[in-house]
Structure 1
Amino acid sequence: MHAMQYEITLPSDYDMGIIRNRVATRGHLLDDCPGLGAKAYLIRERGVDESPVNQYAPFYLWNTPEGMNSFLWGPGFQGIVDDFGRPEVRHWTGLAYANGAGAGAPARATKTAKAAIRHRIRVPAHTHVGDLAEELADEAAQLIHRQGAIYAAAAIDPRTWEALLFSVWDHASPKGQGDVFQVLHVSAPERALLPEGRQW
């Protein structure tokens, strides 16, 4: 599993209805994308859930590098580049994935997802990374037992040594540490194929 995200930060007076309409009219285009476990179409709005910015920041969980590469080198990502410029694309190596009680069938996430939390963790130099990987995998597994959890993932970037926990929820105000995003849509063609549990 590969986790991937890019953030498009928009002016403070930007009409976020433009992004909502973009997702409403184009979000379904990845509903059958080969290699895609799940894409959560995320936004933050300045002043909502303590967000300091307006931002469009979709978050991907890929089953295959071929799927990720086909998206990045294809018309999907080129549409982002054409409209907003080329953003920095961050990616993390998957540590663990878990489905929550609210997950249901893969298509159900599209209908029920309301919010997501991304908790980024800077890994100190003295940290034993094997122990940290175990802790993050355990935390992802624990997250899904909370009411309203749809799915959760843990991942790490071994270049910058940043770890993250990402979770998607079926209600708008989940409790947890990290940045809170609104979920406008979830494309989840291969979420059922994402390997559950730790991935090493």
Structure 2
Amino acid sequence: MYAMQYEITLPADYDMEIIRRRVATRGHLMDDFPGLGLKAYLVRERGDEGGSPVNQYAPFYLWRTAEGMNAFLWGSGFRGIVEDFGRPVVRHWVGAGFRSGPAADSTPLTATRRAEPLPVGVDPAEAIERALAELPEDETLHSAAVAVDPDRWELLRTALWRGRAPEQHGTRYRVLHLSRPGLHELPAGRHW
């Protein structure tokens, strides 16, 4: 499993309805994309109830295969983002674990993301095991993943929620659409 996200920060006065229309008309194009576990079309809006300081479009992906991720990045999928917004930095992490939650068959409304450094002297495997053990058990949890960027030594925790996302789980987003062609094929538990 590979986690991937790019963030497109938009002007403070940007009409976010443009992003909502974009997702409403194009989101379904990823609903059966080969190699994709899930794509959550995430947004933050400046001043909304989540307390976001920015307007941002920040799709998040869990890929089942590197081939699927590559087909998206080097094929026509990502080209539309580049044409409309320029080429954003695409962050990616190696998947370390995944869990479906009690609300996995529902449509998530919110998401959270928390990235934290793995300081020198901290055993990455122990930190990953701890993060996996701490994956939420909440009844509104749709799914959660743990991943690592071994270039920056950064641990990433993400979760999708059926209802309002708990504040303690990091940066909060609204989910505009969820493509999940391979959700049930993402391996559960630890990925090594």
With the shorter chain as reference, the TM-score category is over 0.9
In the alignment, does 2:146 pair up with 1:172? no
Equivalence for 1:116: 111
In the alignment, does 2:126 pair up with 1:131? yes
Equivalence for 2:88: 87
What SS class does the counterpart of residue 25 from structure 2 fall into? helix
What SS class does the counterpart of residue 147 from structure 1 fall into? coil
What SS class does the counterpart of residue 116 from structure 2 fall into? strand
List structure 1 segments (4+ residues) > 4 angstroms apart after TM superposition: none
Structure 2: stretches of 5+ with no match in the other structure: none
Pick from 130, 143, 148: which aligns with 1:151?
A: 143
Q: Give per-residue Cα distances to partners, 1:34-84, cap 9 Å, x unaligned.
A: 000000000000112121110000000000000000000111100000000
Following superposition, the deviation at residue 113 of structure 1 comes to: 1.0
Equivalence for 1:68: 69
Counterpart contact for 1:114–1:171, Cα < 8 Å: yes
Counterpart contact for 1:120–1:163, Cα < 8 Å: yes
Structure 2-normalised TM-score? 0.97
Q: Within 5 Å, which residues of 2 pair with 1:1-200?
A: 1-48=1-48, 49-104=50-105, 108=106, 112-140=107-135, 143=136, 145-200=137-192
Counterpart contact for 1:12–1:53, Cα < 8 Å: yes
Aligned length: 191
Following superposition, the deviation at residue 138 of structure 1 comes to: 1.3
What SS class does the counterpart of residue 171 from structure 1 fall into? coil
Following superposition, the deviation at residue 177 of structure 1 comes to: 2.8
Q: Percent of aligned pairs with the same residue?
A: 54
State the superposition RMSD in angstroms: 0.9
Counterpart contact for 1:116–1:169, Cα < 8 Å: yes
Counterpart contact for 2:27–2:179, Cα < 8 Å: yes
2:187 & 2:19 partners in 1: Cα distance? 31
Following superposition, the deviation at residue 149 of structure 1 comes to: 0.3
2:117 & 2:51 partners in 1: Cα distance? 21
Structure 1: stretches of 5+ with no match in the other structure: none
